[in-house]
Amino acid sequence: MTMSGPKRRSPWMAALLSLLQPGLGQLYCGRWRAAGLFYGLWVISCLAFVAGLSASSPLWFSIGCLIVVASVLLLPVSVVEAALGARRMQEFHPVWFARWYSCLAVFLAVGLIASLGTHVLRSRVATFHVRSGTMIPTILVGDYVVAQKPGGAPTSMRPCDVVVFRTPSRANEPEVDYVKRVVALPGDHVGYAGGRLRLNGQFMPREEVRSADNGTIYRETLSSGCSYLILEMDDQGPFDNVGDTLVPPGSFFGLGDNRDDSLDSRAPSVDPIPFENYHGRVMLIYWAKNWSRIGTILY
């Protein structure tokens, strides 16, 4: 008569299950405290991200995104911890929550929650690949940005916001997504003279920051107090002298930060943009060729 050894759990199986879902490998080993820790951290990161998506502050939105990025580290940590934990176990005592059907139920339940989170994510944020230089020096060609979709009417839109909007559809012309900066809202008078932005009869101050290869970088400050960098090649470009325009109700006035190479609200083909064409506020750069710019908060 042969004697069987003590029951144990496979480290490889524990690692594989945690690779599928952080915490599942620990549950398979009957280690409910460790499983609860990893699942708890995962839930907290998801809640933080949802809260960030709903926040009007770009800072809190960015913090929520960074928490989710940091939570990605849970995956390798959970895999290694599950494998080591299974290997250290001298004997496995079967418990109901470590049975295959219990693990399967947890896996499906968490998967359902994740799918609902993905739906929320798609309804609240969008990503864009910037292919033009109209927002230099703020956004460069090739940058990838995250935009927060409007929950309804863009009543929270403010001057200085960098926004995505779609051009009105015209015959034989495809719709195009534009990225510009809001400088004026309904009721404002906007003009441009000698390369200077004029709002409600007052020129907005600008301060030279540095020289660039194709012009000069200035810091422009709006009457609200917010400021940002712009690029001017010279002060006599095609759109450097434009008469005053009254921004009509339900519209906003958008300009590119690259003022001499931007098709924006100064052009008759664009004009003030209706709110219904507004697609979201750009919050941060999540990928760029220059890694130091990744995570840059816009505004």
The pLDDT assigned to 79 comes to 92
Higher pLDDT, 58 or 136: 136
Percent of the chain with pLDDT over 90: 41
Tokens of 245: 């325009």
Same domain, yes or no, for 92 and 178? no
Per-residue pLDDT tens over the stretch 167-179: 765 545 667 789 9
Question: Which residue segment(s) compose the domain that 87 sits in?
Answer: 11-124
Query: Is 54's pLDDT higher than 70?
Result: no
Based on the number of CB atoms within 10 Å of its own CB, is 42 exposed (0-12), middle (13-18) or buried (19 or more)?
buried
The span from the CA of 144 to the CA of 131, in Å, is 9
- Are 290 and 269 in contact by the 8 Å Cβ rule? The answer is no
Per-residue pLDDT tens over the stretch 179-201: 999 999 999 999 999 999 999 99
Confidence of residue 56 (pLDDT cuts 50, 70, 90): low
Query: Is 120's pLDDT higher than 80?
Result: no
Which helix (H) or strand (E) segment holds residue 146: the answer is: strand 144-148
Segment 214-235 shows an average pLDDT of 93
Same domain, yes or no, for 179 and 41? no
Same domain, yes or no, for 142 and 237? yes
The span from the CA of 26 to the CA of 107, in Å, is 12
CATH code of the domain covering residue 286 = 2.10.109.10
Establish if 1 belongs to a structural domain. no
Among the candidates 124, 152, 175, a domain finishes at: 124
The pLDDT assigned to 58 comes to 62
Per-residue pLDDT tens over the stretch 255-285: 999 999 999 999 988 889 999 889 888 988 9
Query: Is 150's pLDDT higher than 50?
Result: yes
Percent of the chain with pLDDT over 70: 86
Query: Is 246's pLDDT higher than 80?
Result: yes
Same domain, yes or no, for 136 and 210? yes
Structural domains in the chain (count): 2
Establish if 99 belongs to a structural domain. yes
The pLDDT assigned to 83 comes to 92
Same domain, yes or no, for 140 and 280? yes
Same domain, yes or no, for 110 and 170? no
Same domain, yes or no, for 32 and 175? no
The span from the CA of 21 to the CA of 14, in Å, is 11
Per-residue pLDDT tens over the stretch 3-17: 555 577 889 999 999
Query: Is 1's pLDDT higher than 50?
Result: no
Same domain, yes or no, for 144 and 215? yes
Cβ neighbours of residue 270 under 8 Å, at least 6 residues apart?
A: 167, 178, 254, 263, 264
The pLDDT assigned to 4 comes to 52
Same domain, yes or no, for 108 and 186? no
Q: Mean pLDDT, the chain, as a whole number?
A: 85
